[in-house]
Amino acid sequence: MPTDEIKQVIIVRKDLEMGKGKLAAQVAHASLMSYFEAERNDKKITASWLGSGEKKIVLKVNDEEALVKFYNAFQFKKVPCALVTDAGLTELPPGTKTALGIGPWLGSEIDKLTISLPLL
């Protein structure tokens, strides 16, 4: 098992001005969706994350373009991730991209792309 810290990062769009409940739901969707992606890639990494406190960090971007840019970059780097698209049942129009879940995965690989993003 690698000695690198295992963590999960969630990136959310700040421009949507979602209510607190909506924001919490989108972060939860991103966390679960990306967890399942990571588990398909490496069960040892996800087991280690589950056994070590399930570290999560929530960051923000300003708009959809930035969110999709990060999604594409992590896909290119083969880091498990999941892009959340809202169903449009409450606050947002259908198809709105709201959040990106990354990992759980090696922190060093996640940090290479996210180090400049501010905390939510």
Whether 3 has a pLDDT exceeding 70, the answer reads: no
**What are the domain boundaries of the chain?**
6-114
Among 99, 75, 86, CA closest to 15: 99
pLDDT bracket for residue 60 (50, 70, 90): very high
Give 5-44 pLDDT, tens digit per residue. 999 999 999 999 999 999 999 999 999 999 999 999 999 9
pLDDT at 46 > cutoff 80:
yes
Res 42: pLDDT: 96
Q: What is the CATH number of domain 6-114?
A: 3.40.1490.10
23 φ, ψ (degrees, to nearest 5): -60, -45
Mean pLDDT of the chain: 96
pTM: 0.95
pLDDT above 70 (res 1): no
The C-alpha atoms of residue 21 and residue 6 are separated, in whole angstroms, by 27
The proportion of the chain whose per-residue pLDDT surpasses 70, expressed as a percent, equals: 98
Instruction: Provide the pLDDT for residue 2.
Output: 46
